[in-house]
Amino acid sequence: MLGWLPGSNTIADSTRFTMLNLGYGMTAIATLSLWAVGLVGMQRSAAIAHPLPVPEPSQRPFLPTLFANNLPLALSPATPIDVSSGSGTATATVSNGHQVFQFEALAGDRITLDVDVVETLPGGSYTDDDSHLFLFDSAGRLLAENDDDGSSYESLIDAFVVPRSDTYFAVVTTWPNSPTLDEDVVTGWSDDGSSHIRFNLMIRGVTAKQVYRD
């Protein structure tokens, strides 16, 4: 028992220790030097090793992160698009902000993402169909983007070859709203779009899921 030394009744206040915190559930090591009152020159040192208690989640320190549930915060929330038939469409509006969509694709799929502006709405700096389209993987890496498809201000990513089976994210903005990137990984958005549009985002070229009948 470290709280007692032979021949002494009390322990002096001069107790020194050092502790190494190796993380939740790991081992802390403390070295103590204890002097007994009335026992000049006597010294006992001891090393203690014991597991640190794991704090409840509510007691753990907050650590800033770019991810929530393994999803980059700049791509959350995301609206799922069902492409199980090989294609899918979503309808939304966007102005100065951004709209995020997610879908599944298989390695080798040659996919096309097409923004079709169905209505220009009031409230923007410009009344036009100037969309901007971005494609990211599940880690938030920018894979492709398009501002104008060549014949209009609408956006088109055509015949993109999917590098691996994964969840992918398509983001629609209006010009000049663009992502903030850190080594090609999205960390935020400028959210300074200048138009206000209603659009259809069409995705095609995904491998259709096979349906088996009993």
pLDDT digits (tens, 9 = 90+) for 140-175: 999 999 999 888 999 999 999 999 999 999 999 999
| Same domain membership, residue 133 and residue 152 | yes
Contacts of 6 (CB under 8 A, 6+ apart): none
Domain count of the fold of the chain: 2
| Same domain membership, residue 88 and residue 186 | yes
| Same domain membership, residue 82 and residue 27 | no
| Same domain membership, residue 122 and residue 81 | yes
* 142 in any annotated domain: yes
First to last CA, the chain: 71
Enter the pTM of the model.
Answer: 0.67
* 2 in any annotated domain: no
| Same domain membership, residue 32 and residue 91 | no
| Same domain membership, residue 71 and residue 30 | no
| Same domain membership, residue 37 and residue 88 | no
Predicted local distance difference test score (pLDDT) of residue 214: 59
Distance of CA 74 to the CA centre of its chain: 7
What's the rounded mean pLDDT across residues 170-182?
98
| Same domain membership, residue 144 and residue 90 | yes
| Same domain membership, residue 135 and residue 76 | yes
What's the rounded mean pLDDT across residues 170-187?
97
Query: Residue 145 forms beta bridges with which residues?
Result: 134
What's the rounded mean pLDDT across residues 131-136?
99
| Same domain membership, residue 144 and residue 105 | yes
Q: Which domain holds residue 35?
A: 10-56
* 126 in any annotated domain: yes
Task: Quote the CA–CA distance of 108 and 23 in Å, as a whole number.
Answer: 42
Mean residue pLDDT across the chain? 78
Assign 73 to helix, strand or coil: helix
| Same domain membership, residue 132 and residue 80 | yes
Predicted local distance difference test score (pLDDT) of residue 23: 43
* 127 in any annotated domain: yes
Task: Quote the CA–CA distance of 170 and 114 in Å, as a whole number.
Answer: 10
Q: Is the pLDDT of residue 93 over 90?
A: yes
pLDDT category at 212 given cuts 50, 70, 90 is: low
* 4 in any annotated domain: no
Q: What is the CATH number of the domain that holds 100?
A: 2.60.120.380
Predicted local distance difference test score (pLDDT) of residue 32: 38
* 61 in any annotated domain: no
Q: Is the pLDDT of residue 4 over 50?
A: no
- Asked if 97 contacts 164 with a C-beta cutoff of 8 angstroms, the reply is no
When comparing pLDDT for 96 and 61, which is higher? Answer: 96
* 197 in any annotated domain: yes
Predicted local distance difference test score (pLDDT) of residue 65: 38
Predicted local distance difference test score (pLDDT) of residue 213: 61
* 214 in any annotated domain: no
